[in-house]
């Protein structure tokens, strides 16, 4: 490593390449409303993109380093900040990995409650992605609709967990609390409403001739290319690969539930948009089934016995319905969580988050903080597609391809 | 390939069959199977694993074992197209020396590792030889030079005096 004239250390591989003739370099972002918190460096020949370099990292918050200095339980609210609208899905693999190290299995009711919030989050996340996609293409109506309808599911999550976005709902050994008594009724109303709305979405957006002409046969990703690039989530399934963690490696209650995985063969931007809509439909079915299950079964423990027995009396009384909560008390989690030491070991966990497969690698050396936490979020696995998929398209196709991938910069930048 | 998997008693046998002498040890961890190979056999092992159906990389991780003066690099791989293999996650690992760390890049075998190797490079200062495009990804050059995810890098806490912090920041005394 040698220092350059400006005093900035010069790392190998940082050479600035010369541009060839007749091409321009266009910097899109990071302040451009269409780029999110990232920059896309595009080299154009006329208006054909010849080289695309996704330049990410503008909202990096050093989460992997921060996690090495915080208690195990305090990392849950930290990792939530990656994608606050998908909070349960984002933190669930971390909780699962630590549970694997602890050797505790959540009780059955907790598994169903986690599944329920995961699906509510998935719908909220897809609605967010669809809405942003709409406004990228200049379709502000869909943007307003999707964000308005997302509120329904954010409210459901608030009823379950007490927080609109950062729920911190799954904790080691179970979940923080059970659903209120009037929840099933509200959930059924929401799913009934949303099913009708999805048909409207198809009419106004996906079957709209203007939108179709922007999306059809744009950004076509073949099955082999998607596999090679390691794309995840609805984008992968829109290219004809039948892979979903809920199906291939069932976790929580997904092994007991029946649902379909929508797979599309086209692999273009339109198929990716359709994949999200069809996935929301399946998520609505799952919510209905889980709510039925929760209603039929008694409100037994929603936390592993090991943690539940150390709970303060107030916590137990409130959550078993002995006294009415009514916002009067400040309820704390079990003190055992604060002094939790995790046995040494290495664990790997994956779940299917809203945007795709979420992966955590957790290593413990027996202390009260993790030795190493590695996070790979779905958006990062998707960002490589811009580099390999966009060249050859016109510059005006950039928002269509970018939006169809539902890329969310804070999620990767961590 | 699927038929072959069914014939074998376990995934461990499949790995032993594919990698043969390359394997130093196989360790069953929680949620994945860790296969340790030596650094000079890494590329060869990766090629063999890819040919046997492991088609993408989920995560590239480096762990700093400062006491042993070692880095352990793990590629967590699995399969999309082979349903039988997609249930398993294999950690292809190698251990390298902490001083002047170099490791062969696997980006040409698994394109999905390209950005993740860039990330490990900037956070740990591990150089991936033969990488097609080894540049910084998330960090600025000043911070990347400090290799922030190494264990000997300690995060400095802010003082109460904002002005002193600002001056220190501007004169590069912060780090």
Terminal C-alpha separation, chain B: 53
How far is Cα B106 from Cα B120, in angstroms, rounded to an integer? 13
> What is the nearest CA distance from A352 to chain B, expressed in angstroms?
13
Residue A269 has pLDDT above 70, yes or no: yes
The whole-model pTM stands at 0.85
Asked if residue A30 has a cis previous peptide bond (ω within 30° of 0), the answer is yes
Q: Is the pLDDT of residue A2 over 50?
A: no
Instruction: Please report, for chain A, the start and end positions of each structural domain, with discontinuous segments joined by +.
Output: 66-304+342-380
Q: What is the mean pLDDT of chain A?
A: 84
- Rounded to two decimals, the ipTM of the complex is 0.83
Per-residue confidence band for B1, with pLDDT thresholds at 50, 70 and 90: very low
For the domain spanning A66-304+342-380, the CATH number is 1.10.645.10
Is B59's CB within 8 Å of A374's CB? yes
Q: Do B30 and A60 count as a contact with CB atoms less than 8 A apart?
A: no
Q: For chain A, how are helix, strand and coil distributed in percent, rounded to 5?
A: 50, 15, 40
The rounded percent of chain A whose pLDDT value lies above 90 is 19
Of A181-190, B10-19, B107-116, B130-139, the range with the lowest mean pLDDT is B10-19
Q: Is B51 touching A (CB cutoff 8 A)?
A: no
Q: Which of B86, B138, B145 sits opposite A11 (nearest CB)?
A: B145
pLDDT higher than 50, residue B8: no
| Chain centre distance of CA A107 | 24
Q: Name which of B91, B112, B134 is nearest A230 (Cβ-Cβ).
A: B112
Task: Taking residues B60-79, report their average pLDDT.
Answer: 90
pLDDT at A32: 66
Cα A288 to the chain's mean position, in Å?
A: 21
- Residues 6+ positions from A169 with CB-CB distance below 8 Å: A87, A88, A113, A114, A117, A160, A161, A175, A176
Report residue A378 as tokens. Answer: 């779905």
From residue B62, alpha-carbon distances to A76, A369, A373, B87, B93 in Å are 22, 18, 10, 24, 9
What is the average pLDDT value for chain B, to the nearest integer? 82
pLDDT at residue A15, rounded to an integer = 54
Q: Which of A168-177, A306-315, A383-392 has the lowest mean pLDDT?
A: A306-315
- Is the CA virtual torsion A279, A280, A286, A289 positive or negative? negative
Chain B residues touching residue A347 (CB < 8 angstroms): 29-31
Tell me which of A104, A358, A374 to substitute to probe the interface with B (most B C-beta atoms closer than 10 Å).
A374
Residue A3 reports pLDDT greater than 50? no
User: If you average pLDDT over residues B148-172, what whole number do you get?
Assistant: 74
| End-to-end CA gap in chain A | 27
Residue-level pLDDT at A119: 92
- Contact check, Cβ <8 Å, B135/A381: no
What is the topology classification, in CATH, of domain B2-170?
A: Beta Polymerase; domain 2 (3.30.460)
CA distances B78 to A89, A263, A265, B89, B158, Å, are 21, 20, 22, 5, 42
Residue A20 to residue A72: CA distance in whole angstroms: 51
At B129, list the tokens: 């030889």
* A318-375 tens-digit pLDDT: 777 677 665 566 667 777 777 888 889 899 999 998 888 999 999 998 888 899 999 9
Listed in sequence order, the DSSP H helices in A332-377 are 335-338
Instruction: Measure in Å the smallest separation between the Cα of A68 and chain B Cα atoms.
Output: 9
User: Is B61's CB within 8 Å of A374's CB?
Assistant: yes
Interhelix angle A108-136/A140-161, rounded to 10 degrees, is: 160
Q: What percent of chain B has pLDDT over 90?
A: 11
What's the pLDDT tens digit per position in A6-40?
455 555 555 555 556 678 888 887 776 666 678 88
What does the pLDDT read at residue A94?
92
CA dihedral A303, A305, A309, A314 (to 10 degrees): 20
Looking at the complex, does the CB of residue B53 fall below 8 Å from at least one CB of chain A? Answer: no
Mean pLDDT of B121-135: 88
Mind listing the pLDDT tens digit for each residue in B94-106?
Answer: 999 888 888 999 8
For residues B10-19, give the mean pLDDT: 79
Does B32 sit within 8 Å of A374, measured CB to CB? no
């Amino acid at each position: 490593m040698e220092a350059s004239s400006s005093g900035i250390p010069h790392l190998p591989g940082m050479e600035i390449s010369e541009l060839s003739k007749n091409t321009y370099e266009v910097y899109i972002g990071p302040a451009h409303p269409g780029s999110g918190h990232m920059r896309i460096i595009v080299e154009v020949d006329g208006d054909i993109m010849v080289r695309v370099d996704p330049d990410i990292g503008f909202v990096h918050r050093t989460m992997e380093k921060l996690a090495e200095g915080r208690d195990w339980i305090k990392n849950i609210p930290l990792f939530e900040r990656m994608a606050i609208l998908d909070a349960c899905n984002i933190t669930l693999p971390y909780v699962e990995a630590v549970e694997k190290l602890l050797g505790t299995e959540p009780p059955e009711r907790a598994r169903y409650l986690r599944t329920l919030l995961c699906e509510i989050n998935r719908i909220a996340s897809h609605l967010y992605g669809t809405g942003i996609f709409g406004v990228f293409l200049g379709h502000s109506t869909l943007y307003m609709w999707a964000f308005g309808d997302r509120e329904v599911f954010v409210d459901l999550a608030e009823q379950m967990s007490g927080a609109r976005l950062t729920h911190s709902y799954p904790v080691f050994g179970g979940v923080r609390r059970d659903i209120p008594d009037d929840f099933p009724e509200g959930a059924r109303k929401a799913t009934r409403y949303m099913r009708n709305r999805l048909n409207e979405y198809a009419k106004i957006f996906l079957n709209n001739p203007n939108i179709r002409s922007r999306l059809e046969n744009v950004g076509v990703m073949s099955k082999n290319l998607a596999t090679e690039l390691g794309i995840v989530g609805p984008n992968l399934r829109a290219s004809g690969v039948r892979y979903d963690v809920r199906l291939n490696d069932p976790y929580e209650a997904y092994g007991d539930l029946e649902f379909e995985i929508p797979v599309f063969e086209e692999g273009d931007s339109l198929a990716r948009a359709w994949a999200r809509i069809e996935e929301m439909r399946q998520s609505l079915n799952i919510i209905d089934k889980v709510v039925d299950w929760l209603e039929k079964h008694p409100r037994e423990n929603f936390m592993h016995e090991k943690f539940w027995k150390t709970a303060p009396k107030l916590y137990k009384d409130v959550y078993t319905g002995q006294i009415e909560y009514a916002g009067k008390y400040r309820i704390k989690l079990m003190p055992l969580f604060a002094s939790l030491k995790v046995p040494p070991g290495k664990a790997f966990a994956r779940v299917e988050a809203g945007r795709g497969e979420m992966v955590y690698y957790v290593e413990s050396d027996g202390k009260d903080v993790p030795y190493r936490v590695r996070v790979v979020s779905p958006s990062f696995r998707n960002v490589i597609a811009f580099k390999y998929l966009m060249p050859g398209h016109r510059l005006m196709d950039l928002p269509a391809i970018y939006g169809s991938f539902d890329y969310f910069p804070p999620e990767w930048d961590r | 390939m699927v038929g072959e998997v069914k014939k074998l008693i376990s995934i461990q046998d499949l790995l032993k069959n594919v990698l043969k002498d390359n394997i130093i040890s196989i360790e069953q961890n929680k949620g994945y199977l860790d296969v340790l190979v030596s650094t000079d056999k890494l590329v060869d092992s990766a090629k063999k694993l890819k040919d046997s159906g492991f088609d993408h990389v989920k995560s590239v991780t480096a762990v700093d074992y400062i006491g042993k003066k070692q880095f352990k690099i793990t590629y967590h791989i699995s399969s999309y197209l082979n349903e039988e293999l997609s249930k398993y996650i294999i950690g292809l690992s190698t251990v390298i020396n902490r001083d002047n760390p170099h490791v062969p890049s696997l980006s040409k075998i698994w394109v999905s590792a390209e950005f993740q190797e860039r990330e490990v490079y900037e956070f740990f200062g591990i150089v991936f030889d033969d990488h097609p495009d080894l540049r910084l990804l998330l960090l600025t050059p000043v911070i990347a030079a400090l290799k922030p995810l190494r264990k000997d890098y300690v995060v400095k806490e802010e003082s109460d005096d904002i002005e002193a912090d600002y001056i220190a920041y501007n004169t590069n005394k912060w780090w």
